Each structure stands twice: as C-alpha cells, then as structure tokens.
Amino acid sequence: MNKKKVLVICGTGVATSTIVMQKLKAFLRDKSIEATLEQSKVSDVLNKAGQYDLIISTTAVPPSMVDKVINAVPLLTGIGKEQVYDEIEARLKM
C-alpha cells in the first residue's frame, strides 16, 4: 500500500490542528496505518491541496478543496468522532 500524504489544517495552524494532529498520530499508530502527516493553516494550502491524498480540517474550506477534506471538529468535541475515524481509515486504505 502506498504511503498516503495527509494534511491537517485549521484557521491559524496553531491550536486545533495541533490537537487533531496528536489524535491522528495515536489513531494511525493504533491501526498500524502508515501515512505522512503535515500541519498547516487553511490559507497556506489553497494552491497546494493537490499534493495531498487527504486533508483533515477543523475549519470550513473553499469549495475547490471539499472533495479531499474530512471535517475534524468531532475529534475536538467527541460528538460523532467514531464516524470521522472510520472515514479517515477508509480513505487511507483506498
């Protein structure tokens, strides 16, 4: 399986993406899924979205990016997080 490139973003690239990053690392380790993880803010990736297999975002993204993006807010609030983890796993195993 090819190692997928995953980008974690939020509005500032400072707080919420750091939390999501941590949770994602633990989840991937747990599932033995290998992936390259990067962290950034949404305004920095508008033209680079194509470089990633999957983008995990805590903030709303422009329509051009929507297809690649999973909304990570449930990982912050805990509400609906199982679905998000399932979707991440499915997308990374494609």
Partner 1 sequence: MSLSEYIGKDHIRIFEESVDQAEVLHQLGDMLIQTGAVSIEYMEAVRKREQAFPTGLYTGEVNVAIPHADPENYVKQPAIALGVVRKGVAFRNMADPTDDISVQLVFLLAPERGETQLVILEQIMNLIQDQANMRQIMDAQGTEDVWNVLGQLVQVEEKL
- The one-letter amino acid at 42: V
Nearer to partner 1, 33 or 61 (CB): 61
Q: Which is nearer to partner 1, 14 or 46 (CB)?
A: 14
Using rule CB under 8 A, residue 79 touches partner 1: yes
Q: Which CB, 66 or 93, lies closer to partner 1?
A: 66
14 makes contact with partner 1 (CB under 8 A): yes
Angle (deg, nearest 10), helices 16-31 and 81-93 = 60
Interatomic CA distance for residues 43 and 1, integer angstroms: 31
Report the distance separating Cα 6 and Cα 88, nearest Å: 10
Size of the site for partner 1 (CB under 8 A): 21
